[in-house]
């Protein structure tokens, strides 16, 4: 696979899991009383922190695999199940319920209070970057990419996709106020559904890729 294609696949898979548009309501709620410049700096720190977190798992994820003795097919199947389950939950969410009870990324009163009473830049790291942007789904995606791409060149290509996600997250949060007014609550629901379908498809593909070598090994043993 060409390096540019690895970067593109990385960006696409991570964008579906990070889904920065779903973080827009939380960002607006937590930074609504800040100046424009402060909001821009919070968005920048959140994007940088997201990149750092995912990059850390990119270069040290293989240590976790070796320590626990996890094989690639096992992690592909488990990651695929996680993605598929997350997708089904997203697609079957009751749209008639208030947004604050539907989405685990919706504004939370405790988060808003923390933003108002603590350093806004610390809020950019927690909870914006961790866990709203670089949550379990994004980290699992990076771990799978670590197992799939073992050479320095391919890892750097993955890093390019990770960096692009950080930039995309920064740009979305930077434009959070106009985006929130433009797409509204209904637009975010539609986008979340589309991302849910994409995540589900990625999960099924991971399961197929994980089961295939196991099936071949079983057939070989039966011969």
Q: What is the pLDDT of residues 184-209, one digit of tens each?
A: 878 878 888 888 888 888 889 889 98
C-alpha to C-alpha distance for 152 and 100, rounded to whole angstroms: 43
> Sorting pLDDT into bands at 50, 70 and 90, what band is 67?
confident
Q: What is the pLDDT of residues 138-195, one digit of tens each?
A: 998 998 888 888 899 999 999 999 999 999 999 999 999 998 888 887 887 888 888 8
Q: What is the pTM of this model?
A: 0.78
Secondary structure letter of residue 104 according to DSSP: T
Residue 117 has pLDDT above 80, yes or no: no
C-alpha to C-alpha distance for 103 and 124, rounded to whole angstroms: 20
Q: How many domains does the chain have?
A: 1
- Dihedral sign computed on CA atoms, order 49, 67, 136, 131: negative
Identify the domain containing residue 64 by its residue range: 3-222
Phi, psi of 35, deg, nearest 5? -70, 165
Q: Which of 186, 220, 207 is nearest to 73 (CA)?
A: 207
Burial class (CB in 10 A: 0-12, 13-18, 19+), 97: exposed
How many other C-beta atoms are found inside a 10 Å radius of the C-beta of residue 89? 11
> Sorting pLDDT into bands at 50, 70 and 90, what band is 101?
very low
Q: What is the pLDDT of residues 10-47, one digit of tens each?
A: 999 999 889 898 898 889 888 878 889 999 999 999 99
Which pLDDT belongs to residue 163?
A: 97
Q: Spell 170-203 as b/e; 16+ CB within 10 A means b.
A: bebbbebbebbeeeeeeebbeebeebbebbbebb
Q: Torsion over CA of 64, 70, 76 and 80, rounded to 10 degrees?
A: -80
- Find the angle CA(18)-CA(20)-CA(26) to the nearest 5 degrees: 115
């Amino acid at each position: 696979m060409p390096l540019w294609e690895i970067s593109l696949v990385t960006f696409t898979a991570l964008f579906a899991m990070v889904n920065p548009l779903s973080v827009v309501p939380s960002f607006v709620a937590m930074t609504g009383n800040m100046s424009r410049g402060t909001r821009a700096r919070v968005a920048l720190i959140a994007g940088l922190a997201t990149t750092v977190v995912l990059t850390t798992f990119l270069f040290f994820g293989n240590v976790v695999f070796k320590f626990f003795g996890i094989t690639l097919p096992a992690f592909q199947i488990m990651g695929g199940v996680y993605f598929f389950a997350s997708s089904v939950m997203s697609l079957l969410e009751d749209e008639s319920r208030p947004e604050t009870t539907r989405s685990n990324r919706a504004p939370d009163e405790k988060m808003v209070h923390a933003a108002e009473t603590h350093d806004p830049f610390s809020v950019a790291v927690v909870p914006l970057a961790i866990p709203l942007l670089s949550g379990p789904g994004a980290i699992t995606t990076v771990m799978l990419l670590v197992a799939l791409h073992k050479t320095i060149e391919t890892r750097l290509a993955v890093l390019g996709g990770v960096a692009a996600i950080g930039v995309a997250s920064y740009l979305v949060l930077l434009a959070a106020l106009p985006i929130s007014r433009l797409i509204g609550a209904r637009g975010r629901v539609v986008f979340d559904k589309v991302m849910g379908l994409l995540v589900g498809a990625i999960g099924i593909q991971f399961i197929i890729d994980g089961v295939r070598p196991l099936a071949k090994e079983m057939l070989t043993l039966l011969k």
